Amino acid sequence: MDALSGILPEPLGGSLFFVVFRKAPAEDVTAKLIVINFLHIGPLRLFPDSRDVVVVMDASGSIGEWHFERGKEALKNLMGLEAESKNDTKYAAVTFSNDASVNFQFLPCAESANKILEIPYEKDGFTNTQAGLAEAKKLLDESSGKCPYRK
C-alpha cells in the first residue's frame, strides 16, 4: 500500500505509479478534445443542426459511484459546449441498472447540463442495458412528431 491510499478517492488512491504518471487535462478540455478529435466536429458544434439527443447512462453496481460522477461531469461539460453553439439541440437522460428510468425529457443544452448533475447513482443492481436503450427509443419515438427537424 502506498502513501496516498486513503487520501485520494479510488481509483487514484490505490496506485502511486498511476498518480505520478497521470496527466489528465481538465474536464472541460477533455470534453472539447472529444468533440473535435473523436466526433470530428469543429469546436463548439457537437451537432451541426438541432437534434434530440438521449443520454443513456449505466447506473448499475459495476460502474461505481466515482466513475458515475465523473461521467456526469463529462456530460455536463459536453452539453455546456453545445449550449455555446446556440442551436436548438435538446437532451433527455435515461439511467439503467435492474430497470431503466427517465431522468429528464428533452431540455435545452444549458438546462440539461445542470440537470445531469442531479441524477442519482443507484449503487446496486445488475446491468440491464436493453431496458435503458428501450426507454431511449421510446423517448425518441415520442419526440419525432413534435420536432420539425426530426426525420
Q: What's residue 80's pLDDT? A: 81
Cβ-in-10-Å burial (0-12, 13-18, 19+) of 109 comes to: buried
Mean pLDDT for each consecutive 10-residue tract of the chain (151 residues)? 50 51 67 67 56 91 91 88 75 95 93 94 88 94 63 45
pLDDT for the residue numbered 151: 45
Architecture of domain 12-143: 3-Layer(aba) Sandwich (3.40)
* DSSP state, residue 13: G
Q: Give pTM, 2 decimals.
A: 0.66
Delimit the domains of the chain by residue range.
12-143
pLDDT of residue 145: 54
Greatest distance between any 2 Cα atoms in the chain: 58
